[in-house]
Amino acid sequence: MQNLRKDYSKNALLEEYLADDPFIQFQHWFSQAVEEKVLEPNAMILSTRTTEGVDSRTVLLKGVENGQFIFFTNYNSHKGQQLLNDPHCSLLFLWLQEERQVIVRGQVKKLNEAASETYFKTRPRGSQIGAWVSEQSKPIANRGELENRLKVLNERFEEKDVPRPKHWGGFSVFPYEIEFWQGRSNRLHDRILYSKGEKGWTYARLQP
């Protein structure tokens, strides 16, 4: 592992090309990731606080609007309970193909039920039923038990609309910091940190 090295030289992140609004900057980078066919560009590592320390896992971004990053989950899962107990979290987007990453630091709030209902109706039917099948993060004896639940619930909702479980819905992350990282040669990377204050967003360059 010590000999695994890559020199980053694909792009630069210079102040003269920065947007004043970090959400505009994010959308610009995200659009480029989509255009470059980055695998799962909306995948992000969500880190939460626990009583013992920190927990992390990958979730999918489902929207960026009105100054918030939106994702959906089971509120009874480990991450759901951790966020309900302590709203501080971070999101990490890693787009290796673009030699870029974005870190979002902020606090979450539960998305209102109407917005969760609207999104749930757009999900594939299998994913809708899956939200009922899995008691996310709870132990289960074996895979067969999960598949049996799926069979039962497929029969239960046959030829019916699948309602949204009350334990399933969205979270909105309201950032107070968004950091953009662009890989550069010799590990002298570009790092721009946007911080939210009383007068809005400002940014500063950080040493790599």
- Domain contains 26: yes
Give the pLDDT of the chain (208 residues) as one tens digit per residue.
Answer: 878 888 898 999 999 999 999 999 999 999 999 999 999 999 999 999 999 999 999 999 999 999 999 999 999 999 999 999 999 999 999 999 999 999 999 999 999 999 999 999 999 999 999 999 999 999 999 999 999 999 999 999 999 999 999 999 999 999 999 999 999 999 999 999 999 999 999 999 999 9
- Domain contains 5: no
Domain range enclosing 77:
15-120+165-206
Q: How far is CA 77 from CA 37, 50, 83, 138, in A?
A: 31, 13, 10, 8
- CATH number of the domain to which 190 belongs: 2.30.110.10
| 132 token code pair | 């009922």
| 77 token code pair | 């899962």
- Domain contains 38: yes
Does residue 191 carry a catalytic annotation? no
Given the residues 125, 156, 187, 205, select the one marked as catalytic. Answer: 187
Amino acid at position 170, single letter:
G
Amino acid at position 145, single letter:
E
CB burial string 3-30: b at 16+ within 10 A, e below? eeeeebeeeebeeeebeeebbebbeebb
How many domains does the chain divide into?
A: 1
